[in-house]
Amino acid sequence: MIALEFLKSELKSHNIELTAKTDGREGVDFLIGNNTIYLQPLDLDTVQLSIKILKKELRELKDNSFIALVLVMNQEPRVVYVIPSKQLSESDSNIFINNEVSLMPSLSNWEIKISSKSIKELEKYALKHIIRKLKV
Structural domain count of the chain: 1
- Of the candidates 7, 9, 11, 33, the one whose C-alpha atom is nearest the C-alpha of residue 21 is 33
Domain of 124, CATH number, reads: 3.40.1350.10
* pTM for the predicted model, two decimal places: 0.89
Domain range holding 33?
2-135
> Residue 1: what pLDDT?
78
Q: What is the pLDDT of residue 80?
A: 96
pLDDT higher than threshold 80 for residue 48:
no
> What mean pLDDT is predicted for residues 81-97?
88
pLDDT tops 90 at residue 134: no
Compute the distance between CA of residue 82 and CA of residue 37 in angstroms, rounded to an integer.
9
Give the pLDDT mean for 79-96: 88
